[in-house]
Structures are given as C-alpha cells and as structure tokens.
C-alpha cells in the first residue's frame, strides 16, 4: 500500500494495481481481489490483507486518544530494510508482536536492531522483530 501523499514505487510485472481515495495497492490477484481490497479499505482495515495484525489504524488511534501510549511493531530484512510495521498501543502491542512473530516471512528478520533503535526498546527478540516506545 502506498497511502495518499506517498510516492508509489514501480509496479512489478507479477502484481496488479488498485487505487482508491486511501491510496494505491500493489497486490497478487491470485491471492486477493481488487473488490476485497476495496471492501476492507473503505472500512479502514488494510491491516487484514497487509498482514499487519488484528488492529486497524482507526482502532489504535481511538486508544491513543483515550490516553494509551503508542508503540510500533517492525520486521526487518537481514540487511536492515524495514519489511513491514504496524502502530500499536501499550494494551495491543504484545498481541501484535505475537502476530508478527507467527506471520513473519521466510528469510526476513534475523536482526535485533533497526530503525528506531535510538528509542527505548521494550523487547528485543532474536527473530528480527521488535517494538519500541514512541515518544508521546
């Protein structure tokens, strides 16, 4: 997904493209349809097909507005390139971390530090995933 206002990367030959008012999506048409992307996107639930865990951004932002601190969950490639990340809160981040751990891509991860390592680390497993507290 390339949210509105971000630069879209070139479309790989093996992927299809869908665009709506929330952004542009590059996807495998044999795994999900443009109609399914549209249905979930209009609900703000891109997290479902982007493998970002059980919480949508609107759900997390509601928790933040209710006073919870923000955290991130991130997965990196062995050469320290961010592969995927999700925003969470103090009450969701453990579940989100477990989701990332169970759904990590083969060959990804394998490091314990990455972007954001200058922030206080809450957990540093050896799998290449970690979450960090975001200064509020």
Model confidence pLDDT, tens digit, residues 26-82: 999 999 999 999 999 999 899 898 888 999 988 988 998 999 888 888 887 777 677
CB < 8 Å & 24+ apart, contacts of 3-8: none
Q: Which two tokens stand for residue 90?
A: 């103090």
In this prediction, residues 5-18 reach a mean pLDDT of 91
Predicted TM-score (pTM) of the model is 0.70
**Residue 111 · residue 86 · CB < 8 Å:** no
| Cα 81 from chain centre | 14
Q: Is 24 helix (H, G, I), strand (E, B) or coil?
A: strand
pLDDT, position 112: 31
């Amino acid at each position: 997904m390339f949210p509105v206002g971000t630069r879209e990367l070139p479309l790989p030959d093996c992927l299809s493209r869908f665009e709506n008012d929330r952004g542009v999506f590059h996807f495998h048409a044999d795994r999900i349809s443009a109609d399914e992307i549209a249905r979930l996107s209009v609900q703000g639930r891109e997290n479902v097909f982007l493998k970002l865990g059980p919480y949508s951004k609107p759900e997390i932002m509601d928790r933040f507005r209710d006073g919870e601190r923000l955290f991130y969950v991130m997965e990196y490639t062995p050469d320290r390139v961010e592969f995927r990340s999700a925003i969470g809160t103090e009450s969701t981040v453990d579940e989100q971390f477990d989701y990332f751990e169970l759904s990590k891509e083969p060959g990804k991860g394998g490091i314990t530090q990455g972007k954001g390592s200058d922030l206080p680390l809450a957990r540093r497993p050896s799998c290449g995933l970690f979450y960090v507290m975001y200064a509020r």
